[in-house]
């Protein structure tokens, strides 16, 4: 007999991921994701319901989710369902089902949030830091051109930018 325990959800994070460590040093992050459902009732009116899913991410995935999951982030979570039971302080028996994440993909660009959880201020466009400053890139291009001209001059060929040397073609 086959068994399958798989959950896949796509929704908005309802709070920032909360990071903690177990006594033996294992990282664990928790956050919740809201998913919306829409349908028409028998009268033809649109109905909507929201479900909230608790997510637990362990180890390196937990550390990464702590940095990328912020309130309002559109997120895809894939994992398995795990139900925990405990006795509450008042003596009642409690139960909770979480999704233990195996894969998390943040679908919102960094600094951008979506859905009902967006901040009041407009979100900024994603900030991408270049690996090299533009002035440095231009200097490198000039150096490459100068090196090419010097090599061509050494071969006794004209250093014309428009000329193709058949010896330089790798095939």
Predicted local distance difference test score (pLDDT) of residue 121: 33
Q: H helices of the chain, where?
A: 59-68, 134-154
What does the pLDDT read at residue 150? 58
**The tokens of 69 are what?**
């999951």
Q: How far apart are CA 8 and CA 77, in angstroms?
A: 6
- Position 145 scores a pLDDT of 56
Distance between CA 109 and CA 125 in Å, rounded? 8
* Rounded alpha-carbon distances, angstroms, from residue 8 to 17, 58, 75, 100, 105: 18, 17, 11, 11, 11
The pTM of this model reads 0.61
Phi and psi angles of residue 168, each rounded to the nearest 5 degrees, phi first: -85, -10
User: Are 117 and 15 in contact, with CB atoms under 8 Å apart?
Assistant: no
Who's near 31: CB < 8 A, 6+ residues apart? 13, 14, 15, 16, 17, 18, 55, 65, 69
Map out the domains of the chain with their CATH numbers.
Answer: 7-117 (2.40.50.140)
CB 134 within 8 A of CB 124: no
* pLDDT tens, residue order, the chain (171 aa): 899 999 999 999 999 999 999 999 999 999 999 999 999 999 999 999 999 999 999 999 999 999 999 999 999 999 999 999 999 999 999 999 999 999 999 998 765 554 433 333 333 333 333 333 333 444 444 555 555 555 555 555 444 556 666 676 665
Q: Are 64 and 100 in contact (CB under 8 A)?
A: no
């Amino acid at each position: 007999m086959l068994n399958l325990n798989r959950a896949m959800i796509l929704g908005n994070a309802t709070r920032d991921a909360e990071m903690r460590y177990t006594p033996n040093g294992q990282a664990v992050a928790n956050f919740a994701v809201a998913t919306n459902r829409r349908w028409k009732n028998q009268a033809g009116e649109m109905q909507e319901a929201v479900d909230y899913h608790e997510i637990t991410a362990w180890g390196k995935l937990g550390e990464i989710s702590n940095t990328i999951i912020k309130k309002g982030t559109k997120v895809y979570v894939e994992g398995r369902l795990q139900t925990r039971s405990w006795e509450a302080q008042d003596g009642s028996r409690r139960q909770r089902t979480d999704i233990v994440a195996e894969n998390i993909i943040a679908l919102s660009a960094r600094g951008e949030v979506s859905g009902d959880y967006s901040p009041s201020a407009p979100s900024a466009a994603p900030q991408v830091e270049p690996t090299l400053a533009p002035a440095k890139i231009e200097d490198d291009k000039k150096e490459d051109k100068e090196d090419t001209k010097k090599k061509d001059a050494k071969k006794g060929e004209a250093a014309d930018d428009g000329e193709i040397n058949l010896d330089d073609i790798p095939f």
